[in-house]
Amino acid sequence: MTRSDPIWSAGLMSGTSLDGVDAALVYTDGVRIHSFGEGRYRPYSADERKELRAVLGHWPGRGLESAERVILSTHHSLIAGWSPDIIGFHGQTLAHDPINRRTHQLGDGAAFAKLCKAPVAWDFRTHDVSIGGQGAPLAPVFHFACAQWAGLTDPVAFLNLGGVGNLTWINPAVDHILADNAVLAFDTGPANAPLNDAMMRLFGEAQDTDGRVAQKGQVDPAWITQFLTHEFFTRRPPKSLDRDTFANELKSIDCLDDDDQIATLSALPAFCVAKNLSCCPCPPSKIFVTGGGRHNPVMMDALADTLPCPVAAIDTIGLDGDLLEAQAFAYLAVRVLKGLPTSLPTTTGVPHPACGGRVSTP
């Protein structure tokens, strides 16, 4: 294999919404996407989700052994039968504090390499934050490759609505990712995490399937206006969020009726994106939505009603919005293997293009 040869890589992702694990195969040289392979999804059981939720916010130390076993076993079972050249293993983010140059993703990549009997790229964020980056978002380098794979030419944005929202502005007409004004990325604010938490607290449900509860409630614009006074929304990129950055601000949602809480939290991501959109070098011609949020019609309607440009699911350009995050870590794994940058000054705020992650072999 030469440096420019494409290889098969498997990517694994467990997001902050704690719904489950995604896995995907990508055939890539770490620059260009040659083809996409099979994808899989494994939801967490109620007990597994409870186990992981109990350690959110924890830094490395004792008491994480049981949750670690959940992460390793669920991820390993999902890729049974695959034989990739490398595996991109993100693990589960428990805590993220880039201001103090620390981040914690649960999941020992060296142990996972032994379990899978394959090389594993992991610990993607630590180096980034250690040199002054935000450690997130990491998918934008992959998003740029996706936009070129899809044949796009005008500036667009990819909006990922997972537990936290993040936006990647892309100019796919430039030659490569390191060109001026190729890409800009940043977290936009809460997405599904507070909505899912509220659904569990109020209704004992993991999520608001098809937005059924939100459709019965009323959005409280005054609450949203107050929420958007948080200093995060006046900060210029790069900027990233922990799952619980807005924990104190979200407590006040309890003053609303149950259905109104869900309706308001479903609309909130759209207003957060709108508040941040002026950060882009120029307005995107279209916003393509990926992640679990695009399955929520109430959330999608709120985006269409609030944002100043057309909005569509990313699937409309041939990409799989359910697998994009897993595919991103498959792609990033190959970049780590080849020593290519995984984060940029315009994505995470590192002082120079940097290759994060490390590779463990069986």
CA 16 to the chain's CA centroid:
8
pTM for the whole structure: 0.93
Name the nearest CA neighbour of 193 among 214, 205, 207, 203. 207
The enclosing H or E element of 26 equals: strand 20-28
Q: Which of 26-30, 97-101, 209-213 comes out lowest in average pLDDT?
A: 97-101
Whether the pLDDT of residue 25 is over 80: the answer is: yes
State both tokens at 213: 């509860």
Count Cα neighbours of 60 within 13 Å in the Cβ-side half-sphere: 8
How far apart are the C-alpha atoms of 180 and 345, rounded to whole Å? 11
3-state secondary structure at position 359: strand
Name the percent of the chain lying above pLDDT 70: 99
Question: What are the tens digits of pLDDT across the range 223-254?
Answer: 999 999 999 999 999 898 888 899 999 999 99
CA 177 from chain center: how many Å? 19
Any alpha helices (H) in 65-130, and if so which ranges?
65-78, 109-116, 126-130
- Model confidence at 1: pLDDT above 60: no
Which tokens is 128 given? 């980034």
- The residue-averaged pLDDT of 26-51 equals 97
pLDDT of residue 17 exceeding 90: no
Domains, the chain, in order of start with CATH, read: 7-137+323-360 (3.30.420.40), 151-317 (3.30.420.40)
For 59, half-sphere exposure in the C-beta direction (CA atoms, 13 angstrom radius) is 7
Residue 59 has pLDDT above 70, yes or no: yes
State how far the Cα of 43 lies from the Cα of 66, in Å rounded to an integer: 18
Residue 45, classed as helix, strand or coil, is: coil
Position 109 pLDDT exceeds 70: yes
Amino acid 235: pLDDT:
93
Residue 47 has pLDDT above 70, yes or no: yes
Kindly report which listed range (3-7, 119-123, 187-191, 206-210) carries the lowest average pLDDT score.
Answer: 3-7
Q: What's residue 240's pLDDT? A: 87
CA quadruple 307, 328, 73, 58: dihedral sign = negative
Asked whether the beta carbons of 328 and 139 are under 8 A apart, the reply is yes
| 286/155 Cα distance (integer angstroms) | 8
pLDDT for position 61: 93
pLDDT above 80 (res 2): no
- The predicted-structure confidence for 299-343, as pLDDT tens digits, reads as follows 999 999 999 999 999 999 999 999 999 999 999 999 999 999 999
User: What does the pLDDT look like over 285-296, one tens digit per residue?
Assistant: 999 999 999 999
Which pLDDT value is given to residue 3?
66
Q: Cis bond leading into 137, ω under 30°?
A: yes
pLDDT recorded at residue 336? 98
Please tell me the predicted confidence (pLDDT) of residue 4: 80
Average pLDDT over residues 42-70: 96
More confidently predicted of 287 and 19? 287
